[in-house]
Structure 1
């Protein structure tokens, strides 16, 4: 018999669940990120550079931020993994068999990937120029939801994310390489797993792509099962140094540039900047100089029409002499 005193909900239960997820999960990220930064007093400089919501796609929330060092990257990934664990435990208590899973990738800007403004998002800040600069990129950092990010590394990241599961956070090979290096340097604490190579549509010409993940299993019982399974199959854990070396060799063989990231407080050397960035820098400088020259010529032309530009000194001297000659009394 139905409870006549109970008010019916206007929406199905899944609607409420998703609204809670969209509202609460970013808060979990912020909390975990603040906790990760407390591991060192020096990390206070990253306090305002945590993961931000970029956009939502269906039942997914995409976060992004500009990564500044290995330590900063570690804090971001640790925060994300911690938020997945915290929110997953809440879902476990609910008993509705819902779960969360995550994936991560990294991309280089302003080349070879690009930042694009989304028309109509913020008309007051929309740029009318196609020539981007650091100020443009900083706007994207502070308000990523007003921008889109395009490029091969973005595409491959989305493709690799399809291999994510509740017990494993899938990684692009570039991000996995950085995290393996960070783990080897004891900056990042995580256990990696390797799942062979599988083609990802449109990535490296559909050749087999290494599937790398971070262990995200939160169930102690299932961790125990996995541990015994490894003993039976004689499968060892992936050693971070071997993983880094394997991915480095793979990327060099495929012509994929290694991502550049420095340790905390150390600026990257100019001599080791990626070739795509140096090519972009040269082209940007040339285009910027042409634009400045064109604008100067346009200003000069307008001034000439308005009569606001000054005549050359030699012309002024000749005019003065002519006027003086005309003013002399005739004899």
Structure 2
């Protein structure tokens, strides 16, 4: 009898194999980025696993990091696919990519993984402040290992809907990511120092996804992952399928975001070198300022309240600290009170 269920080996191998492949390819992409003076930023980290899926996340501090992460991911998938197809020919890999802005439009939420920690935590009665407090704790230097982070919001929902259209060849991407990648690709060096083939962009029309983007049809761009290059070239000739020019993708994405500003916005990164992604929309700046002011005022108010309660407790302790002599006197007075009020009633001579 085998030591594990038949389904366990491919999934366990996938988890471990992709972990190794992503780490290896990221290290290579990072080194190549530094050679051309592109800031790679922090490495991708595992967000979570869902059954036979692994989801990675990466903080972007420069729009070119999106392309660096994409190149590392595509190389990791290609290298692991060779091993997977050798051992499990019927299985394959598919990918999806999207970006989300925080804390406006989407949100990071935090949970304590320990029930004991939750019991000891004071219920503020204010979910916004409680989450901000945990966020502050999560990003502090002494990060609490009991905290678990998750992401919620419209952009997160859109990304998961796009994943329904991905295939081994099609790495489906969101409009915002397509726009950011196009800007990076147009400045990507072609020499051997970077040594990555520029991604090929395709468009498969607009699709309606339930529960996202107000029900409006969403444009679906995808990047060619080349799982079977020779067959794909022949098939593309039959379908007259050609990769898109960067000018066409850029023009469409900018127009689409502008015309659907109620549901999406031009992505931005503080201090980004590319002006297109450096401007913070006015209403976003107002929300950011409001959120910062709320956090600072509420935190200050609660700190003052805690200090006040602590001082009252100290005063009560000081007032209640009696000497042995005082304790003895109080005991005598209490005994006298009981003797006065709880003695047996006097009896008259006549009995009823």
CA distance in 1, matches of 2:231, 2:146: 37
Q: Comparing 90-99 with 130-139, which one deviates more in the overlay?
A: 130-139
Residue 268 (structure 1) shift: 7.5
1:167 aligned to which of 150, 162, 169: 169
CA distance in 2, matches of 1:180, 1:157: 19
User: TM-score, normalization: structure 1?
Assistant: 0.77
| Partner in structure 2 of residue 35 of structure 1 | 28
Residue 241 (structure 1) shift: 2.1
Unaligned 5+ residue runs, structure 2?
A: 123-129, 190-195, 317-352
User: TM-score, normalization: structure 2?
Assistant: 0.73
| Partner in structure 2 of residue 131 of structure 1 | 132
Q: Comparing 215-224 with 203-212, which one deviates more in the overlay?
A: 215-224
CA distance in 1, matches of 2:299, 2:3: 58
Instruction: Say if 2:267 is the partner of 1:259.
Output: yes
The 1:91–1:252 alpha-carbon spacing in structure 2 relative to 1, beyond 3 Å, is same
Residue 94 (structure 1) shift: 2.8
CA distance in 2, matches of 1:184, 1:15: 43
| Partner in structure 2 of residue 93 of structure 1 | 86
1:248 aligned to which of 254, 279, 282: 254
Aligned-residue RMSD, C-alpha: 3.4
Unaligned 5+ residue runs, structure 1?
A: 1-7, 309-331
Residue 19 (structure 1) shift: 0.8
2:222 aligned to which of 197, 206, 213: 213
Which of 1 and 2 has greater Rg?
2
Does structure 1 conserve the Cα–Cα contact (< 8 Å) formed by 2:172 and 2:220? yes
Residue 146 (structure 1) shift: 1.9
Instruction: Say if 2:270 is the partner of 1:286.
Output: no
Instruction: Say if 2:151 is the partner of 1:149.
Output: yes
**Aligned pairs (5 A) from 1:20-31:** 20-31=13-24
**Aligned pairs (5 A) from 1:3-152:** 8-41=1-34, 46=40, 49-94=42-87, 96-120=89-113, 129-132=130-133, 135-136=136-137, 138=139, 146-152=148-154
| Partner in structure 2 of residue 196 of structure 1 | 205
* CA deviations over 1:44-64 (Å, ceiling 9, x no partner): 9646x2111111111111111
CA distance in 1, matches of 2:8, 2:309: 61
Residue 304 (structure 1) shift: 6.3
Residue 261 (structure 1) shift: 3.5
Q: SS of the counterpart of 2:32? A: coil
CA distance in 2, matches of 1:181, 1:270: 10
Aligned residue pairs: how many? 295
| Partner in structure 2 of residue 323 of structure 1 | none
